[in-house]
Structure 1
């Protein structure tokens, strides 16, 4: 999947720009053949790349949520530029839950281990996710039975540093069948590079290592 395919996606200041995790999740969504004719939600939409992709793949309805007003405006503009209908809303996971359930849930949530305060709607909220990187991931797993309709699916991308096996365990505890469907080792992007020394000091990263494995977990509800 080439990035030029997504020329309709433009990124405003203060909005998370599509990177390797975005491309991997888009690839997993394309290969899953889940979307056509179904109701889809993109949680933590950022630039809206996943929501727009779902609409282009023939989703019956697409909603997208982000807590950032800048992201909401950016995703709305990208959907308009792509010529597709996406209902982009400023809101939380709980807002998405109230709008559910959905046939397909996709999310590229914050997942970088960080000791930064989780407050406000600044750009860092697109990646900072608490000491273990799982503040939003755990909420997604816990809310999965409300977010995903019977027979529906969830696709979540995150890093090895936020414990993908735990995502599988938590989804299974919620009654889903869960598995890894895509993975890729990539060089650190700007955020992980800037956090590397702190992660080394915390014992979360081997000294000198500057790459990570990105993983997409799929959960299916029976």
Structure 2
């Protein structure tokens, strides 16, 4: 049975590394432990990235030979909210209590699909599906704020002109305003056993889930979350 592509690439990387360094697995007491660590980190990174595209290429730098073996390694991503693409740092907790932490460097390339503008889009335009076209390529070569999922693009409003063939980026799109500055709105304060509503005036524009300031007739000002058209919520 043929090996999966990512396993074959990993094996090739390991063999090349040992060949170039002239290292034999039996020459260093830590070599086998280091190789087991690399395999576990590689598998962790593959699990984090396999859903992003059709092909994942991971190149891991070996740990320093001066470090002791990492017992019971537990890999993690220091920047959990960021897609692991391009050059990334991978944390590894070591030891039975996982109090020892070390970091490995990796280069991750993912070949997958992403969306670009099918036409020139003017500022203030509401993005619809027919304005998008799909392309395939290296996702790590895209701008850091590029949006890959169609759901993150359609329904947003362009905040600046977008040229045909360009990727959609986070800073160039915004959710459409559900509340406008000066609008009379309803603010609902709710908790586990109560729900109270009051009317006030929005002091800012706001889209879905934006937090904006609202002033009541008593001149009191609160910050509330935009829930829907003209409705804001204060959660307790």
TM range (shorter): under 0.3
Task: Choose 1 or 2 for highest CA Rg.
Answer: 2
Q: Which has the higher helix share?
A: 1
Q: Which has the higher strand share?
A: 2
Structure with bigger RCO (C-alpha 8 Å, 6+ apart): 1
How does the TM-score come out when normalised to structure 1? 0.26
How does the TM-score come out when normalised to structure 2? 0.25
